[in-house]
Structure formats: C-alpha cells, structure tokens
C-alpha cells in the first residue's frame, strides 16, 4: 500500500484511501510511542530538512521528534539564524540546501502556495507544515486521528469548526479531510470571520455558538489570529469571548457529550476559558501526542515511496 502522491501539500483532493492509510499507519506508530525505546530504523539514511519561515512550537518539534523516532537525519532551518537575514532569496536558499542532498523538505511559510512552488524547484518530497491561510494538512490529519480515537469513527460525525475561519489554514484542511471521510462539517463564528461562499465547500454556517453546540458532537475551536489582523474583525476580545467563547457553563447547559479540540496555541479567556482548556471535555494534549504519530506516518509513507 502506498500514497497516490509523493508530496503532501494539502488535504484538498487527497483520496479517502490515502487518508485511511495515513491514519492506520499512525495507529501503529502511536503504539511505538508507548514503548520504552520509542525508535524504529525505518528512515535510516534519509535526510530531512525542516524549513520554517514562520514561528512554530508544536509542528516544528513534532516533525523533528517524528524524524528522530524514525532514525532519519534531521536539519532545522530558521530564518532568524540563516542567510535569509542577509537577503538571500528563497529559491537560492532551497537550491543550496538541496545541493547538500536532502531527501525531504518540511516547509512552513507565511505565504500560501510556497510548498507547491517548492515541488517545482526541488526534487525532494515536500510536506506542507502550514502555508499562510491556505492549508495545514498534518494538523487536519492529527485532528481526524484524535476525533476517531475518541468516537471510533469519522463517518456521519457532526464536527463544527469555531472562530476565525477566515484566517485559518487548520479550518480548510479540516474541512477537506473530514468531508472526504464522510463527516458532517459546519463552521461557526462572527460573520466577519466566515468567508463569503464557504457553503460551496459543503459546510453549514452557524452564527450562534449555542446552536452549534446543540447540533454538533465535536467543536474544533480555532485561535483568534491577532498577528493576521483578526482583531480588526471583532469589536473586542472580551466581546468575542462573551458571544463565542467556549466555557464550562455553555458546555454543561447542553447536557450532552461534546469533545473540544484546539490546534494551539490557545488564547486563554478568548476562544476557550481556562477551565475548558484544562478540563474534562478537551483532548488538546492528546492531539499533540497523536501529532507525532501522524507525522511519523506521513514521513514513513512518503520516505519509502518508489
Ligand atoms: N498547531 C500549530 O500549528 O501550532 P504551532 O504554530 O505551534 O506549530
């Protein structure tokens, strides 16, 4: 069994069989992570560069750990300590890194489309670790893995993506992946944070959080992306919390099982109350643990393709 594409640029158009293969492979790696020695020799001899042009805690560390668990050689690039600071172009940077014989490139960039561009200038397998407001496919996969772990299925599940959908690459990857796997996907947020015409992707739109909570089993709650000017789309963070914030009182009012996901980093007291962020309804740190297994699966499946 192998994937149908040698790159992972997004979940748009990725066939169900590929997603199933990644999630099943991740399950075996999840077991490896519980062993006393959490390492397998699968990618021994492969060289992987993590090319991060934008800040990251979870994704960068998770990819690096996944690479080390698979015994690959790992190199980390960050703009702040590189010759990009001296004006070297992105293309020259990539060509120079490629000349050192790397097999795979994991890329995060503030501009949408950079991973696609990399496939044209590099022979390596390319994995998108988040490109602007476009896609974040491994986040979408780890979210699906975590939802399936909790409910045992994705087919027919009602999942609502809440908050700053307009700026969210996590939202798009979740929508594409979950819909392919047969989930019923909706979005909820203030009108200024929901892209016009999003219904054409086959998602329902809610503007009242209580209605979304009454009708969905899973809430994937997004961060308000202040660094991308999200603050200009709402009167204040306090008002956002009042109308869309997920609190224990709101959850308990509905008296039904609701599972809360959040990709991190969290703005505590804005999209989630601290009580919810640390409470019994959320699976946020499970998402982080599952993320290592999912990234091991993606790296393994791409790195061993012929
Ligand atoms: N979820 C996520 O992408 O987090 P980081 O920005 O810390 O990688």
Residues 277 and 169 occupy one common structural domain: yes
Pocket probe for ligand 1: among 107, 265, 290, 295, the residue whose CB has the most ligand atoms within 8 Å is: 265
Angle at Cα 225 formed by Cα 11 and Cα 137, nearest 5°?
15
Average pLDDT over residues 212-226: 95
Q: So what's the pLDDT on residue 81?
A: 86
In a domain, 7, yes or no: no
Domain containing 190 — which CATH number? Answer: 3.40.50.1370
- What pLDDT, in 10s, does the model give residues 124-151? 999 999 999 999 999 999 999 999 999 9
CA of 55 to the centre of ligand 1 (A): 8
Whether the CB of 137 sits within 6 Å of ligand 1: no
H-assigned helices in the chain: 16-32, 58-69, 90-99, 114-121, 137-151, 169-180, 209-215, 237-244, 248-254, 274-277, 284-303
| pLDDT confidence tier of residue 71, bands split at 50, 70 and 90 | very high
Cα distance between residue 242 and residue 221, in whole Å: 15
Q: Provide, rounded to the nearest whole percent, the portion of the chain with pLDDT above 70.
A: 100
Which residue would you say has higher pLDDT here, 58 or 231? Answer: 58
Distance CA 306, CA 296 (A): 18
Are residues 110 and 198 both part of a single domain?
no
pLDDT at 45: 97
Instruction: Count structural domains, the chain.
Output: 2
Query: How many residues are given for the chain?
Result: 306
Domain of 235? 137-283
Closest CA to 167 of 232, 121, 212: 232
**115 alpha carbon to ligand 1 midpoint, in Å?**
17
Residue 98 is encoded by which pair of tokens? 């490629």
Question: Tens digits of per-residue pLDDT, 179-218?
Answer: 999 999 999 999 999 999 999 999 999 999 999 999 999 9
Which of 19, 6, 23 has its CA nearest to residue 294? 23
């Amino acid at each position: 069994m192998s994937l149908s594409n040698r790159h992972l640029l997004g979940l748009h158009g990725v066939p169900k069989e590929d997603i199933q293969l990644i999630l099943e492979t991740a399950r075996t790696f999840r077991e490896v992570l519980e062993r006393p020695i959490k390492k397998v020799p699968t990618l021994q001899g492969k060289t992987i560069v993590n090319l991060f042009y934008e800040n990251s805690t979870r994704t960068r560390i998770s990819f690096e750990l996944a690479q080390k668990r698979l015994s690959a050689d790992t190199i980390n690039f960050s703009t702040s300590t590189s010759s990009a600071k001296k004006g070297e172009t992105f293309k020259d940077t990539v060509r120079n890194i490629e000349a050192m014989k790397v097999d795979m490139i994991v890329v995060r960039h503030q501009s949408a489309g950079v991973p696609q561009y990399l496939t044209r200038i590099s022979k390596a397998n390319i994995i998108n670790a988040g490109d602007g407001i476009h896609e974040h496919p491994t986040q979408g996969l780890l979210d699906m893995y975590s939802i399936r772990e909790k409910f045992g299925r994705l087919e027919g599940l009602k999942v609502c993506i809440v908050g700053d959908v307009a700026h969210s690459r996590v939202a798009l990857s979740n929508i594409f992946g979950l819909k392919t796997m047969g989930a019923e996907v909706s979005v909820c947020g203030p009108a200024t944070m929901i892209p016009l015409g999003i219904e054409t992707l086959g998602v329902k739109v809610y503007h009242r959080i209580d209605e979304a909570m009454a009708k969905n089993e899973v809430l994937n709650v997004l961060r308000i992306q202040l660094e991308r000017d999200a603050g200009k789309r709402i009167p204040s963070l306090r008002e956002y919390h009042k109308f869309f914030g997920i609190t224990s009182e709101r959850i308990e009012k509905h008296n039904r099982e609701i599972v809360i996901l959040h990709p991190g980093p969290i703005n505590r007291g804005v999209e989630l109350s601290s009580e919810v962020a640390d409470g019994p309804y959320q699976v946020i740190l499970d998402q982080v643990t599952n993320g290592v297994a999912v990234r091991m699966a993606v790296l393994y499946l791409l790195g061993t393709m012929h």
